[in-house]
Every structure is written in structure tokens, then in C-alpha cells.
Amino acid sequence: MIFEAIQQEPHLLSILNLMLETKAENIRVIHTGETSTVSDWTVICEGTNFNHVRAIAMAIKQEMKQEDQYVDHTEGQDHNRWILLDYLDIVVHIMLPELRNYYKIEAFLEENSQMTITEEEYQKLLPPKNY
């Protein structure tokens, strides 16, 4: 059910695929549309260090700009520990693992959502790569 919903969101698919390409870890997608006035989707992932967090954020911003999607609000780029990219209907959190473990934001979001998907579940649904 959630994969079908994700497939209807081309910008969300771009963000997820970029996260995979940039080796983001522990990707989680949460559909918040029915319970949130802030966004329809929240995507959370981890970077392994400050530079990785920044690189993931920059890759997403560049790709979204090519798709004529501009970030409405950004937080955290001064410290690269937790970067938030707000595209209005999609909010992206890129975090260091220790901050994610401390704040546990997905626990709060998932409490109110019936549709979530993990990175592993998402990858299983992708067509196989032809090399």
C-alpha cells in the first residue's frame, strides 16, 4: 500500500533514490498526510559523519532544483549534524546516528501514521539493476 503511494510521488522517489546513491543509511519514509498539517511525507536518514550529512543534503537540493522544486526552509546547515529540508509536501531529515537515537522523531511521527516503509522494504520493491 505505501509503495503504491510512493510511486505516485515522483519527487519523493527522486529523494529516496538519491539517498540510496549517496549511501545514506537507515532510510525511513513516513506518510504523514492524514495526521499532519505540515507535510504529506517525512523522510529520515542518517549520514555517517558531518561531511556525509552535508553531501546527502546538497545532492537532494541539487536534484530537486533540476526538478523545479525549491526548498522552502532549511535548518542545520551550519553544523551538519541534523539538516532539515522542507519542500512543503515532503520534509527531509538527514541526521547523525547519535542525534537520531536521542530525538527519536520517527517514533513520534509513526505513532500517528499507518504507512511507513524502511530502506530494506523499499529496496526489495525496486526492479533489479541490469549491469
**84-123 confidence digits (pLDDT tens):** 999 999 999 999 999 999 999 888 887 766 566 777 877 7
Residue 10 placed within a domain: yes
**Which residue did the predictor score with more confidence, 18 or 34?**
18
The pLDDT-based confidence of 4 (bands split at 50, 70, 90) is confident
Q: Is residue 130 part of a domain?
A: no
Domain range for 25 is: 2-125
Q: Is residue 69 part of a domain?
A: yes
Residue 71 is assigned to a structural domain of this protein:
yes
For the chain, the three-class secondary structure string (H helix, E strand, C coil) is: CHHHHHHCCHHHHHHHHHHHHCCCEEEEEEECCCCCCCCCEEEEEECCCHHHHHHHHHHHHHHHHHCCCCCCEEECCCCCCEEEEECCCEEEEEECHHHHHHHCHHHHHHHCCCCEEEHHHHHHHCCCCCC
**Across 24-47, average pLDDT:** 87
The answer to the question of residue 131 being in a domain is: no
The CATH number for 97's domain is 3.30.460.10
Whole-prediction pTM: 0.84
Q: For the chain, what is the domain count?
A: 1
> Higher model confidence: residue 4 or residue 34?
4
- Whether residue 11 is contained in a domain is answered as yes
Cβ atoms of 17 and 63 within 8 Å: the answer is no
